[in-house]
Structure 1
């Protein structure tokens, strides 16, 4: 099949989060299966600074109302996969992709409404007539709408897929502020007051809707988990499915990880002790091998469960445990963590920063990984943790539920610890179960670690499931 993969960021080119991981890994996996894939993305300033990409074709022009939008189509390649980048400096030659530090650009709706349309024009200019147009998250959610009204016949045979990576971000903006869409009078009936919700448009116009894990797809069909779009998902429930993201084990494997003190594998975990000692030294924690370390690497947001974590920290600190947290985000969360770290300097290390090296050190040197998310469409850190024999402590939501098997529920297949209720007492109780297991069952702990390390969630498997979805 010919697949046009429309996405706002791609790992190795430009990245702000997990969407970029999928933007690289899935097209590459589909290409290896023999499909012809072309990625379309914006030509951001960060991309232009790294790659002085040539023009693929003559300048293109789109018209909307009284305004014309002339843009170039840049030609790049990602491990053999063609990348077309929409170069419109007025919208994309900026400091950030979506924001200037913490402040989202006020014209994001205009920028990505234009991009959703320009992506199709780039495909036409390249003569790439797709069987599948695969769109990702709110930034590209209007592309299925533009396919539906395209009148040249170029996309008549194309089916559209809309993948929701995080349904909490919906691209809701005042329609009157989106200049590019003003001539589209048919959208007036789709508004909520004067607000246009991009994700709602993706759900309504795409042929198929999918989420990045089977359990998250089921949550989207419930009033509680639908991010206030319950009726939209229910109306399309027969077209909603979930496919679990893969994990890039070329970057996350303790056998050959260059960032950790000593490499190890599931047949010999002795190297993990050296990684633990290095982590303790790096973070200024007492170097005690028999004290369990719970690690956490994440954005400091309510989504990641800090509403449950912060209230129970003092109680957790009464246990024989060390807690290592690395991340940036909400200033109030970081200030609270720093105060607790100041009170318990031998038990809690908080680093308000992010580095690849420290993230790998946490995964390798910790005994447990904390990920008690309020919601988690797929999640990657629990997959990394499993690969490193660092047992995840997670809430039973989204992809966490799909990837971690609880010790109490199935001891013979267990790979971690899972709790249900979104509150501090349930989280603390789950952590206490993990600590008890660590201290009282060291042999079973090692067997569980070895089992976790042999879990695999590959992009090859995900790509096969997407191929099935494309053909459905």
Structure 2
């Protein structure tokens, strides 16, 4: 088989350009695009959500029915879409996907998410056979598609169509496991006929992520350091044994960065474009900072600005930031936080912002424009994550000359070089302990460099701006992983 001529079915719950809630969507667009550029034939399967503009008007390439229980069939259509040159097959099954949001409303998950995403996994395999796209590799992502490897090695074990097909699972966030009861999963007859102890949380519940880890031919932890964390009980969020059992098939490949969307030289969303030289950067970042200050109501002053754009969750380290914010804001600084999520965290941020109106602006929303403005206008970008499998914002920040300030976990450890540890090649600031005071010390270190040595600060900015994490490099590593999966002889049920 010519390695540059694979059929790859990429199955995900979201994709940038059509439906997005987080970084998985960026990967689901950029990695298939990079693989396609290497000569592979790639299709992406996602649900046909109501929120996808024009989705229900897209051309239908398949009308099908799939048996889900004895003599019970579910009708669905496959609509063909495209994003950035990548062909997308959207599964149109209105009872499951014709809803206001992707996963939840009012911070409450849909009651039938187990059934919805079990159907996604089963239908992805069903449709590829009916459309006669025989995949060499099926690449599943996170718990939403964890049943794909399980079904491939159970339902389709003796199906000649998939005889040469191997599966890869990327774990973007092991904290979300997709735990559902057997009773909720009657749509998967295999789970009603017998118990599968290797995918169970307890005798009554299975975890989709455990199913993916148990049955995929190869597993990727989305960064080398995250892969090492996954074999520990703490780092894997309680699945350390599952990952350790598959350690020989577990790798870590850092996500690439889409510099087509995130590049100050070409970014049409920012007020002024700039290049990776000191004069252009200084002028461009100043113009972007001024525009951001006006937009969020902060004084237009030449002050060091810290920015943060994230979901408001403990994963993103807000529990380390909140206790020290008032202490830090006594300095001559400005802070902009853009994000939405946990209502309790949002309320605390609103309160602190109201007490520090001259120095802190909190925008409770997700705004793509503001995300770009913060990356371009801030001097430092905060990512004090409790855990971070890979992370993308630290990569975006670097190319804009906005030094990331991160905790030494997951992909942050793999991508950011701390100034104190390696000043010559530094690209940001790193702290170790998951404690508010450790974060405060790191923020003060950053502030001191900015205030006391502007020339050195600009040199570190140049380091960051010239650092690259290209998808072409990551795609090559995925190609090697696919080759390893294809060379394996583990297509039968695991022992």
Give the alignment of 1:65-214 within 5 angstroms: 65-149=70-154, 150=156, 151-184=158-191, 185-190=193-198, 191=200, 192-214=202-224
Give the gaps of 5 or more residues in structure 1. Answer: none
2:261 and 2:267 in contact (8 A); partners too: yes
Partner of 2:3: none
- Change over 3 Å in CA distance of 1:106–1:444 after alignment to 2: same
Q: Using the alignment, how far apart are the partners of 1:210 and 1:301 within structure 2?
A: 24
Partner of 1:307: 319
1:64 and 1:183 in contact (8 A); partners too: no
Moved more, 260-269 or 319-328: 260-269
CA deviations over 1:430-468 (Å, ceiling 9, x no partner): 011001111111100001001100111111111111000
Question: After the TM superposition, which segments of 4 or more aligned residues of structure 1 sit over 6 Å from their partners?
Answer: none
Q: Using the alignment, how far apart are the partners of 2:49 and 2:290 within structure 1?
A: 41
2:31 and 2:475 in contact (8 A); partners too: yes
Partner of 2:261: 251
Q: Using the alignment, how far apart are the partners of 2:87 and 2:195 within structure 1?
A: 33
Q: Using the alignment, how far apart are the partners of 1:6 and 1:24 within structure 2?
A: 11
Q: Using the alignment, how far apart are the partners of 1:79 and 1:419 within structure 2?
A: 37
Give the alignment of 1:1-12 within 5 angstroms: 1-12=6-17
Query: RMSD in angstroms over aligned alpha carbons?
Result: 1.4
CA drift at 1:177: 1.7
2:65 and 2:73 in contact (8 A); partners too: no
2:243 and 2:250 in contact (8 A); partners too: yes
CA deviations over 1:222-250 (Å, ceiling 9, x no partner): 12201100110110011111111111111
3-state SS of paired residue (2:405): strand
Q: Using the alignment, how far apart are the partners of 1:79 and 1:362 within structure 2?
A: 25
Q: 2:59 aligns with which of 28, 51, 54?
A: 54
Q: Using the alignment, how far apart are the partners of 1:146 and 1:135 within structure 2?
A: 12
3-state SS of paired residue (2:335): strand
Give the gaps of 5 or more residues in structure 2. Answer: 1-5, 485-495
2:375 and 2:400 in contact (8 A); partners too: yes
Q: Using the alignment, how far apart are the partners of 1:72 and 1:261 within structure 2?
A: 43
Q: Using the alignment, how far apart are the partners of 2:483 and 2:63 within structure 1?
A: 34
Q: 2:290 aligns with which of 257, 277, 285?
A: 277
3-state SS of paired residue (1:38): strand
Q: 2:243 aligns with which of 224, 233, 257?
A: 233
Q: Does 1:287 align with 2:315?
A: no
3-state SS of paired residue (2:161): coil
3-state SS of paired residue (1:16): coil
Q: 2:274 aligns with which of 261, 264, 267?
A: 264
CA drift at 1:326: 1.0
Partner of 2:489: none
Partner of 2:453: 441
CA deviations over 1:314-347 (Å, ceiling 9, x no partner): 1111222111111111111111111111111111
3-state SS of paired residue (1:59): strand
3-state SS of paired residue (1:243): coil
Moved more, 189-198 or 409-418: 189-198
CA deviations over 1:99-141 (Å, ceiling 9, x no partner): 1231111111111112111100100011011111110111110
Q: Using the alignment, how far apart are the partners of 2:234 and 2:24 within structure 1?
A: 24
Q: 1:408 aligns with which of 416, 420, 426?
A: 420
CA deviations over 1:76-100 (Å, ceiling 9, x no partner): 3334433222221111111111112
3-state SS of paired residue (1:68): strand
Moved more, 58-67 or 90-99: 58-67
Q: Using the alignment, how far apart are the partners of 2:126 and 2:161 within structure 1?
A: 10
Q: Using the alignment, how far apart are the partners of 2:304 and 2:86 within structure 1?
A: 44
CA drift at 1:188: 4.0
1:325 and 1:350 in contact (8 A); partners too: yes
3-state SS of paired residue (1:10): coil
- Change over 3 Å in CA distance of 1:50–1:41 after alignment to 2: closer
Q: Using the alignment, how far apart are the partners of 1:42 and 1:200 within structure 2?
A: 22
Give the alignment of 1:341-380 within 5 angstroms: 341-380=353-392
Q: Using the alignment, how far apart are the partners of 1:50 and 1:181 within structure 2?
A: 27
Partner of 1:215: 225
3-state SS of paired residue (1:311): helix
Q: 1:18 aligns with which of 6, 15, 23?
A: 23
3-state SS of paired residue (1:383): helix
TM-score by length of 2: 0.92
Moved more, 59-68 or 206-215: 59-68
CA deviations over 1:209-231 (Å, ceiling 9, x no partner): 11111111111111220110011
Aligned residue pairs: how many? 471
CA drift at 1:396: 0.6
